[in-house]
Amino acid sequence: MFERFFPDDYQTSAYVIPYEKLYEEGYRGVVFDIDNTLVPHGAPADDRARKLFVRLREIGFSSCLLSNNQEPRVKMFNKKIQTNYICDAHKPSVKNYKKAMDIMGTDCSSTIFVGDQLFTDIWGAKRSGIRNILVKPIHPKEEIQIVLKRSLEKIVLHFYRMKC
């Protein structure tokens, strides 16, 4: 029952993912959530995020930010990153996952999604046919609706860990 929400991979951080290896495997596009995936909720892009996107470009990846936040938040974060972005994405709806692939010129077989939430980020990527990587949230401070979802995520992740 919970398997439909299991991530394809689970990493401690977006910053420890072996992007070079993924590129060697044929992946060419990376789609990222922002808040609690790349920076704490509401924070601007920091030096670590900026360096990650420089690294991704050097490897040869296209990238796109996919956020349920409104444009002012996403635009502020993207100021130092300078990548493609889609705001107000309505994740887990598949529409904007597909739009991100169109923007990057990739398809399901060459795209990876990285996010911190099972029921929006990962579930939407799975429904879109995109390989996905769940990362641990960067910071414990979150909006109340996310805190409530985290309780359910703990149950799903318990069964995920039992399977692994």
For position 150, what pLDDT does the model report? 66
- Candidates 47, 19, 44, 34; CA nearest to 120 is 34
Return the pLDDT at 1.
Answer: 63
pLDDT of residue 159: 76
Phi, psi of 117 (to 5 degrees): -120, 130
Domains identified in the chain, total number: 1
29-84 pLDDT, tens digit each? 999 999 999 999 999 999 999 999 999 999 999 999 999 999 999 999 999 999 99
pLDDT band of 141, cuts 50, 70, 90: low
Range of the domain at 8: 2-163
pLDDT of residue 123: 94
pTM recorded for the entire structure: 0.89
> Which CATH number do you get for residue 117?
3.40.50.1000
Read off the pLDDT band of 139 (50, 70, 90). confident
